[in-house]
């Protein structure tokens, strides 16, 4: 058995929770939470932590970069691989908010989508 | 010189200015002009590319640009003009505005009502009394955010962050993801003023240490920053000798608080609260000068943009009412901060408010299992228990509009009952 201490992020109370994990890292139990949302978060965070990633990528012919995000939460362990991949992506204007830039990024099921629109530069 | 008249002039097109414009138009005000000094509307949200905005208002987590775009789309749908690249130079007490832009030059605009929505700015190095040399490589966190997210370049490679406000935490993650090494986040208080979520997802996720009760005691570098020293502080925030830690770094980011930007308000002769650094307002967001309203971060610094929008919808509605009926509600009640409470807004309440009144304030410390109490003339008019009251989260208490006609005294006091804890 292994114990892990984590801080709940659901509300400003910020409960310090102790999670018991089995030998193979599986979730066993949690103490220190003051509500059921804390228990759910502790389990998720200790078994498969998820994050939404946001970044910017260059737009050819524009000085302003394009802000993007994953369309849903992706496994935390894939953050650096996704950032590395985005370092090699460039788009051309025009781009619309919500447009898919990279579909199913690294097999996570989430797309990289634009979070703002870029018009064609006026000549 | 050009002269122009509009019913409603709004200074700033961040979330506050946009929401105020939308609600005034929806209340039937046709002649509205929004002035914006940047080249695009959206305010600071444009550079806040992280997600987490809009949970209260839209019930989903949006990024800053997405949140702003919803209001921008609505403003365009309503055909409300937003003039970008236009800097307001002055606002007078009789609602005459002077402004300047490259395309239209210097202008004078008279307005039936004015809404001030200029937002806030970051506390700069000069206001922090940091020792050391005046080298390059020291930026406010928001400036670094603008460089990385809007202008597409990195301000440095090895970074220390002073202050643990949310922008500093967000930038710790942002700089790390873009390849910089963030060595430490340093906070003088025994607790962070940032959200738990940001402590976990921006610092802990990347193994960035948070030094509580520490501050910067030296800054080194001739041309460019080469290193800093931090030290632990005692209860009086004085550095403790022998606790110094040295860091070699080329960049120091400052995330040490936000200050409402009220030079224009002061020029108009508006009363400014020393506690919020924003205008003193009544429950309808009207300042001490009739017909001039204030909302968003220029009024008091919010933690959630959803609250900014909500407050600004009210300001737009109140300004519309002023324009239509020259309605100026005389205030009867004065709101005072009691123990544990700082900077309650609004500071004045009219005799018979048209809507329920939301009192917003920051607790002066961390209180666990405490109760916020509102009193008037020795009589308790509201109690609200909470597991935590913390300076990092604005507290909101709602007083029903029917309540006010039953009050005999005119002084309303807000206080927190409970023990202050250390985080």
Q: Is the pLDDT of residue B422 over 80?
A: no
**Each residue's pLDDT tens digit, B86-129:** 999 999 999 999 999 999 999 999 999 999 999 999 999 888 88
How many contacts does A have with B, using Cβ atoms within 8 A? 72
- Chain B residues within an 8 Å CB radius of A117: 69
Q: Is the pLDDT of residue B71 over 90?
A: yes
Residue A87, phi-psi category: left (phi > 0), alpha (psi -120 to 50), beta (remainder) = alpha
Measured over the CA atoms of residue B188, residue B190, residue B196 and residue B199, the dihedral's sign is positive
Q: Which pLDDT belongs to residue A118?
A: 87
Q: Is the pLDDT of residue B1 over 70?
A: no
Alpha-carbon distance A117 to nearest alpha carbon in chain B (angstroms): 9
Contact A54 B63 (CB under 8 A): yes
- Chain B residues within an 8 Å CB radius of A115: 49, 63, 65-66
Q: Is the pLDDT of residue A123 over 50?
A: no
The answer to whether B51 contacts chain A (CB < 8 Å) is: yes
Contact B63 A12 (CB under 8 A): no
Alpha-carbon distance A64 to nearest alpha carbon in chain B (angstroms): 6
Alpha-carbon distance B238 to nearest alpha carbon in chain A (angstroms): 28
Q: How far is B331 from B347, CA to CA, in rounded Å?
A: 10
Residue B336 pairs in a beta bridge with B413
Instruction: Name the B residues in 348-407 with CB < 8 Å from any A CB.
Output: 387-388, 390, 392-393
**What is the ipTM, given to two decimal places?**
0.91
Q: Is the pLDDT of residue A24 over 90?
A: no
Contact A34 B150 (CB under 8 A): no
> Mean pLDDT, to the nearest integer, of B26-38?
98
**Each residue's pLDDT tens digit, B277-295:** 999 999 999 999 999 999 9
Q: Which pLDDT belongs to residue A10?
A: 85
> Mean pLDDT, to the nearest integer, of A6-27?
87
Confidence grade of residue B271 (pLDDT, cut at 50, 70, 90) = very high
Among B78, B166, B87, B119, smallest CA distance to B311 is for: B119
Q: How far is B311 from A73, CA to CA, in rounded Å?
A: 31
- Chain B residues within an 8 Å CB radius of A52: 51, 61
Q: Which pLDDT belongs to residue B327?
A: 66
Percentage of residues in chain B with pLDDT exceeding 90? 88
Contact A56 B152 (CB under 8 A): yes
pTM above 0.80, yes or no: yes
- Chain B residues within an 8 Å CB radius of A83: 177-178
Which distant-in-sequence residues (6+ apart) come within 8 Å of B244 by Cβ? B217, B229, B230, B231
- Counted residue by residue, chain A has a size of 123
Residues A76, A80, A81, A87: what is their CA dihedral angle, to the nearest 10 degrees?
Answer: 140
Instruction: Name the B residues in 168-227 with CB < 8 Å from any A CB.
Output: 177-178, 195-197, 199-201, 204-205
Contact B204 A7 (CB under 8 A): yes
**Each residue's pLDDT tens digit, B192-219:** 888 888 999 999 999 999 999 999 999 9
Confidence grade of residue B423 (pLDDT, cut at 50, 70, 90) = low
Cis preceding-peptide flag for A94 (omega within 30 of 0) = yes
């Amino acid at each position: 058995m292994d114990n892990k201490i984590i801080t709940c992020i659901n509300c400003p109370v910020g409960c310090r929770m102790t999670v018991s994990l089995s030998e193979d890292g599986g979730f066993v139990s949690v103490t220190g939470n003051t509500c059921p949302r804390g228990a759910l978060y502790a389990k998720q965070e200790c078994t498969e932590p998820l994050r939404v990633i946001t970044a910017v990528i260059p737009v050819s012919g524009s000085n302003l970069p394009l802000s993007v995000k994953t369309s849903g939460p992706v496994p935390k362990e894939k953050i650096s691989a996704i950032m590395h991949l985005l370092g090699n992506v460039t788009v051309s204007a025009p781009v619309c908010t919500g447009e898919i830039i990279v579909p199913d990024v690294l097999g996570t099921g989430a797309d990289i989508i634009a979070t703002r629109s870029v018009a064609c530069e006026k000549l | 010189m050009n002269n122009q008249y509009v019913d409603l002039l709004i200074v700033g097109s961040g979330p506050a200015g946009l929401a105020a414009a939308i609600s005034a138009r929806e209340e039937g005000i046709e002649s509205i002009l929004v002035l914006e000094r940047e080249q695009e509307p959206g305010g600071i949200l444009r550079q806040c590319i992280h997600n987490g905005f809009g949970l209260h208002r839209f019930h989903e987590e949006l990024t800053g640009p997405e949140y702003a775009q919803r209001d921008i789309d609505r403003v365009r749908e309503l055909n409300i003009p937003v003039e970008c690249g236009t800097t307001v130079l002055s606002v007078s007490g009789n609602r005459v505005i002077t402004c300047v832009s490259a395309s239209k030059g210097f202008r004078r605009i008279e307005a039936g009502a004015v809404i001030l929505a200029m937002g806030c700015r970051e506390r700069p190095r000069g206001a922090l009394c940091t020792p050391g040399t005046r080298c390059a490589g020291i930026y406010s966190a928001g400036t670094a955010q603008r460089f990385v997210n809007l202008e597409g370049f990195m301000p440095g490679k090895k970074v220390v962050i002073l202050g643990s406000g949310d922008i500093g935490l967000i930038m710790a993650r942002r700089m790390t993801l873009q390849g910089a090494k963030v060595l430490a986040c340093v906070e003088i208080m025994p607790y962070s003023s940032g959200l738990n979520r940001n402590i976990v997802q921006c610092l802990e996720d990347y193994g960035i240490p948070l030094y509580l009760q520490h501050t910067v005691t030296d800054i080194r570098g001739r041309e460019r920053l080469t290193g800093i020293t931090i030290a632990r502080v005692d209860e009086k925030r004085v550095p403790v000798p022998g606790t110094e830690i040295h860091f070699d770094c080329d960049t120091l980011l400052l995330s040490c608080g936000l200050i409402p930007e009220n030079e224009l308000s002061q020029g108009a002769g508006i009363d400014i609260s020393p506690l919020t650094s924003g205008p003193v307002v009544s429950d309808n967001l009207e300042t001490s000068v009739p017909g001039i309203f204030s909302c968003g971060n220029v009024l008091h610094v919010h933690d959630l943009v959803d609250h900014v929008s909500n407050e600004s919808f009210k300001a737009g509605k109140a300004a519309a009412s002023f324009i239509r009926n020259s309605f100026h509600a005389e205030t009867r009640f004065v709101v005072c901060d009691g123990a544990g409470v700082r900077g309650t807004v609004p500071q004045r309440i009219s005799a018979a408010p048209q809507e329920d009144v939301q009192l917003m304030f920051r607790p002066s410390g961390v209180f666990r299992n405490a109760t916020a109490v509102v009193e008037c003339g020795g009589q308790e008019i509201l109690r609200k228990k909470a597991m935590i009251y913390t300076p990092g989260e604005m507290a909101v208490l709602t007083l029903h509009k029917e309540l006010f006609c039953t009050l005999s005294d005119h002084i309303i006091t807000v206080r927190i009952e409970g023990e202050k804890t250390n985080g």
